[in-house]
Amino acid sequence: MRHACFLTVGPARFRIGSDWRAPIDQLRALYSDYPMDEVVPDFTVRLQATSALRRFVRPQVAIAGDFTLPDAVPLPLHHGLLAAEMAMNLQMALGWRRHLLLHASAVSRQGRAVVMTGVSGAGKSTLSALLAERGWRFLGDEFVLLDPETGNIAPFPRPISLKNAAVAAMEHEIDDDSRFGPVLRDTPKGTIRHLRPRTEWIEQMARETRPGLLLFPRFGFPRAVRRMDEAESFVRLTQASTNYVALGERGFDALTGFVRSVPACAIDYATGDEGAELVERLWSETGAGAGDRAAAA
């Protein structure tokens, strides 16, 4: 590869190579607070031209690397940053075995984490971004890494992928343009802009935390809260995990242990502020108690 950089996010180390300089420069800027030491990587990602001609003429970025999807559609070069992010997600989703991976976001307070999972568009990224600006520690917006041996959550605080209306909402919340990446318009998921986590969350990304509360948020519905039982939580999380089957008995132990250790609720909310307020309220009713006990222990 003509251009390359190394990135460490939480426990995972990536080497990203590219046929073009621009995506690597954008990654270096977006990840400027992260370790970039040239270490032996867990995964290698390549952003490469679909043909020699396509390096120059209407360049198209194809995702390659240790793990790929055969039918992945190439992206135009001006979406190269998105291609790199997608490729890193793909490596984690298909290749990571050290933790049980949940497609979820997470924030923590007092050493206890709120895990929020749901389908794309449920609002888990935006909720985690909002809470992280309001006194919570940001652990990740894409994957929650559950350690099968300890039951702890390993932070994986990638830049937060804001989509469509969430971009303006967070620009309104954070009056600091340096925290944001470039605006990526007309992507397959609409407009995307990445939000850089605060420096302190990146500095603390090796510090694991205990799970305290599990939420299944759903954005765009009238406010509602429903307690969810362990069996339903378990089934939903098997669907939200990318490597549950691959981990076998370790995955079963990790997931059953997780759903039995935390209270769980489905929450519907109409606005980001309402969602954040609901999380705060549920935390004070359930998770905060657990956090206080953990702090006292």
Partner 1 sequence: MAEPAFAALPGHALKRVTLGGLEAAYHAPSGITHLLAEPLPDLLDALMRLAPGRFATSAEIVSGMSDRFELLADSPDEAPERVVCERLCELAALGLVRMHGQA
Which residues contact partner 1 (rule: CB under 8 A)? 229-231, 234-235, 238, 245, 248-249, 252-253, 256, 259-260
Q: How far apart are CB 256 and partner 1 at their closest, in Å?
A: 4
Q: How far apart are CB 257 and partner 1 at their closest, in Å?
A: 8
Q: How far apart are CB 116 and partner 1 at their closest, in Å?
A: 20
Of 201 and 244, which has the nearer Cβ to partner 1? 244
Q: How far apart are CB 36 and partner 1 at their closest, in Å?
A: 38
What gap in Å lies between CA 163 and CA 170, rounded to an integer?
10
Q: Are 159 and 171 in contact (CB under 8 A)?
A: no
Of 195 and 228, which has the nearer Cβ to partner 1? 228
172 HSE (CA, 13 A, CB side): 9
Of 9 and 259, which has the nearer Cβ to partner 1? 259
Residue 6 to residues 12, 13, 132, 226, Cα–Cα distance (Å): 11, 7, 26, 43
Q: How far apart are CB 236 and partner 1 at their closest, in Å?
A: 12
Of 33 and 232, which has the nearer Cβ to partner 1? 232
What gap in Å lies between CA 274 and CA 58, rounded to an integer?
44
Q: How far apart are CB 215 and partner 1 at their closest, in Å?
A: 18
Which of 45, 79, 76 is closest to 63 using CA atoms? 45
Of 127 and 247, which has the nearer Cβ to partner 1? 247
Strand partners, 13: 8
- What counts of helices (H) and strands (E) characterise the chain? 10, 16
DSSP-based three-state secondary structure for 39: coil
Of 235 and 270, which has the nearer Cβ to partner 1? 235
